[in-house]
Structure 1
Amino acid sequence: MQKHYDGYFIDLDGTVYAGKRRIPAAKRFVERLQHTGTDFMFVTNNTTKLPVDVVDNLANNHDIHVKESNVYTAGLATADYVAGIAKPGQNKVYIIGEIGLIQAFLDKGFQLSERQPDFVIVGLDSDVTYNKFAIATLAIRGGATFIGTNPDSNIPNERGMLPGAGSLVEMVAYTTQQRPIYIGKPETIIMANALKRMRLKKSQVLMVGDNYKTDITAGIRFGIDTLLVYTGLSTREQVAKEAIAPTYEIDSLDEWTLTDE
């Protein structure tokens, strides 16, 4: 029995689009949310893009038109988390990452520093170098708090499954012998921060995604209902073997009924 939800957390790649390929049902789903005035937020592990870039990609490549406030990246979630735990005077960060992550921290008033940073943030960085890893390693061994944006081992690309942010984070974990605080899905910090931004209760929100290991697991761990749509990574055969099933499973977002329609 389907219940009413006041808000939706929605994954992007595999759910709203598949790389450069459009998923027409996803466009219709987003437009139905907008038509009914239902709150929604794209919750993504992407840290390389700014919300404006995500909005532009959706508009220009997928004909889906949303606001920047509808986008919550792991980069924003990481900056929100660090701002929340930083003590007075702790404003220096060293970042392995790209513009989406760096700008999120600058917008929070943090200073970028290679010398005695209070926090070391490791995310996806396509131009990472040995020297960057060396600076991060020494800083963490010197007492800096170690934060990983998300544990994704790989990211899909036209070339295949490329190294994801988690592969970089785990290299630093190996060199420092310290475990990071992970922010992105399937961890729950990003979910808690997104819920705080949406100003709803857990019982009012549904997590929508294509990947059981990240999207659905994040929802389950956080204690919210989940909707798995089979347009991306996970298959029914794989999910059937999991100990905890998603709250709902569908083959297309066209199958999902908004109770306000």
Structure 2
Amino acid sequence: MYKGYLIDLDGTIYRGQEPILAGKNFVDELKRRNLPFLFVTNNTTRSPETVAHRLKHEFDIDVAPETVYTATLATIDFMRADKAGNKVFVIGEAGLIDLILAAGFVWEEENPDYVVVGLDNNVTYEKFVLATLAIQKGATFIGTNPDKNIPTERGLLPGAGSLISLVETATQTKPIFIGKPEAIIMDKALEKIGLAKEDVIMVGDNYETDICSGLNNGIDTLLVLSGFTKKSEVPNLPKAPTFVLDSLDEWDFGDLKK
């Protein structure tokens, strides 16, 4: 049996504003069994506190902010370890900008040490201009996550990866990606949950990010077909997930690891 669970949010526990009942049932069962879990999300638009508040008041899932590890927190951890400077320019929303500044980094638009690009629902051409010029001057280019799309009740909307691709094209510079499926966020998540990779399973709806974050880093995976990756795509996936389910309600917590 798995000792802990790393879980995606959007497309797995909810879909935009729409609750996924099986997601709530899954978390409730983890809590009932006292199994440790950590929501590992590429979403940088909200702080862990805001995510926990939303889960409770919109989806009736009562969890502590400490159970949420975002690509924002992983980005901060990366920049602290990298130690290339403390000046930063960010394309993103409050969940990204406020936490980076609260961590001690200083806002700088012309000559930053880092340019961080995440999802920004209010992005402007001028923000792209500032990011492009700063990277051309030598700033380290960080992409919070490569998600091309976000699953919502409206459909698949442009994700952070789409914005990052624009800056990459304009600068001809590849970003350092932090979020899933990169090792950076997964290694930090394992530290936070306090378990070895062979004792946890990564649960998510997106093969390209959630599942590949497990496949690429030696962690078992559970693909749930409630969001990004469609059932018709499963037979042609490059490498099979450990488990594939139509719904998290089908998960047997007594399953032995394969």
> TM class by shorter-chain length?
over 0.9
Identical-residue share of aligned pairs (%): 55
Residues 188 and 218, structure 1, Cα contact 8 Å, conserved in 2: yes
Task: Report the equivalent of 2:82.
Answer: 85
Counterpart check, 1:188 vs 2:183: yes
- What is the aligned residue count? 255
Per the TM alignment, residue 56 of structure 1 is displaced from its structure 2 partner at its CA by 1.5
- Report the 3-state secondary structure (helix = DSSP H, G, I; strand = E; otherwise coil) of the residue aligned with 1:184: coil
Q: 1:237 aligns with which of 216, 226, 232?
A: 232
Counterpart check, 1:135 vs 2:111: no
Counterpart check, 1:37 vs 2:34: yes
Task: Report the equivalent of 1:226.
Answer: 221
Residues 76 and 103, structure 2, Cα contact 8 Å, conserved in 1: yes
Per the TM alignment, residue 254 of structure 1 is displaced from its structure 2 partner at its CA by 2.2
Deviations 1:84-136 (A, max 9, x none): 1114xx11111111101112212321111113111110111122222211211
* Distance in 2 of aligned mates of 1:19 and 1:167: 18
Structure 1 runs of 4+ with >3 Å offset: 156-161
Task: Report the equivalent of 1:97.
Answer: 92
* Distance in 1 of aligned mates of 2:74 and 2:244: 27
Per the TM alignment, residue 12 of structure 1 is displaced from its structure 2 partner at its CA by 0.9
The one-letter code matched in structure 2 to 1:26 is: G
* Distance in 2 of aligned mates of 1:41 and 1:136: 32
Gaps of 5+ in 2: none
Residues 15 and 151, structure 2, Cα contact 8 Å, conserved in 1: no
In structure 2, the CA distance between the partners of 1:54 and 1:245, relative to structure 1 (3 Å rule), is same
In structure 2, the CA distance between the partners of 1:228 and 1:20, relative to structure 1 (3 Å rule), is same
Residues 212 and 239, structure 1, Cα contact 8 Å, conserved in 2: no
**Superposed, which structure 2 residues align to 1:246-257 within 5 Å?**
246-257=241-252
* Distance in 2 of aligned mates of 1:145 and 1:131: 19
- Report the 3-state secondary structure (helix = DSSP H, G, I; strand = E; otherwise coil) of the residue aligned with 1:240: helix
Counterpart check, 1:62 vs 2:62: no
* Distance in 1 of aligned mates of 2:20 and 2:159: 24
Residues 83 and 108, structure 1, Cα contact 8 Å, conserved in 2: no
RMSD: 1.6
Q: 2:204 aligns with which of 201, 205, 209?
A: 209
TM normalised by structure 2 equals 0.93
Per the TM alignment, residue 171 of structure 1 is displaced from its structure 2 partner at its CA by 1.1
Task: Report the equivalent of 2:45.
Answer: 48
Per the TM alignment, residue 33 of structure 1 is displaced from its structure 2 partner at its CA by 1.0
Per the TM alignment, residue 159 of structure 1 is displaced from its structure 2 partner at its CA by 4.4
Gaps of 5+ in 1: none
Task: Report the equivalent of 1:11.
Answer: 8
Residues 17 and 152, structure 2, Cα contact 8 Å, conserved in 1: no
In structure 2, the CA distance between the partners of 1:156 and 1:14, relative to structure 1 (3 Å rule), is closer
Per the TM alignment, residue 188 of structure 1 is displaced from its structure 2 partner at its CA by 2.5
Per the TM alignment, residue 158 of structure 1 is displaced from its structure 2 partner at its CA by 4.6
Counterpart check, 1:199 vs 2:194: yes
